[in-house]
Homo-oligomer: A and B are copies of this chain.
Amino acid sequence: MDQPNISKKAQNSRARIVEAAYQLFLRQGYHRTSMRQISAEAGLTVGAIYNHFVNKEAIWEAVFMAKHPYREIMPLLKSVDSPTIAGFVRQSASHLVTELSRRSDLLNLMFIELVEFGGKHIPVLFQAIFPEAVQLGETLARKAGNLRPIPNLVLLRSFMGLFFSYYITEIMLPEEIRRQMGSEALDTFIDIYLYGVLDEPMRERND
């Protein structure tokens, strides 16, 4: 115990840097967060960070890949086991929106990426998650329910778009208006989507 595994120590430092940077980036944005803050939060010196990352942007890349919303969203979607499309969409929506409102900062990572880096790291991220996403699209298409003729990829895209549309319009509404709409807004969004993609019945709320 006097001679700890050096490699493990290094991995631990790296993990602490990523975790500290993640918290700070979300709270303050990328440019408002200094290397000093990251190093202080991670419990090592500024110089020490550069043994793990060549520069600040490399830290962002590690944070982005390790903490992007999909890492939370995918397991959530996989845990939904309704046999019908309608049930799957309703359950997914309630899970996702609960998660998004509990952690309203989740999509901020994507916004920072878009604002600060022009989205240049997104293709790499996309490659990593594409197979899983395609699989999800196929799972969705195989469930019971008469889908209108919609290509799998577009179906998947619109499914994800459902949450973006709800979340972004929610962010942009002042508290007051949000209350006026009530919690039915989400149900209505889901209904619109289900009426939009399904052909005939199966749209009832029977999850």
Contact = CB atoms under 8 A, between A and B. Distances in A.
A161 B167 CA distance: 9
Interface in A69-124: 108, 110-112, 114-116, 119, 122-123
Contacts of A184: 151, 154
Contacts of A173: 126, 157
A48 interface: no
B180 A153 contact: yes
Contacts of A164: 161, 164-165, 168-169
| Copies of the chain in the assembly | 2
Interface string A151-186: 101100110111011101101111001001100110
Interface stretch (A7-15, A59-67, A187-195): A187-195
Contacts of A168: 161, 164, 168
B189 A192 contact: no
Contacts of A108: 114-115
A153 B177 contact: yes
Contacts of A161: 164-166, 168-169, 189
Most central of A130, A162, A172, A184 by chain B CB within 10 Å: A172
Nearest to A125: B172
Contacts of A157: 169, 173, 181, 185
Contacts of A142: none
A149 to B, nearest CB: 9
Given A158-B189, A164-B165, A164-B169, A174 B126 contact: yes
A188 B119 contact: no
B123 A115 contact: no
Given A108-B114, A115-B115, A158-B165, 4 more contacts: A126-B172, A153-B180, A158-B189, A195-B196
7 contacts: A126-B172, A157-B169, A158-B189, A161-B166, A161-B189, A193-B196, A195-B196
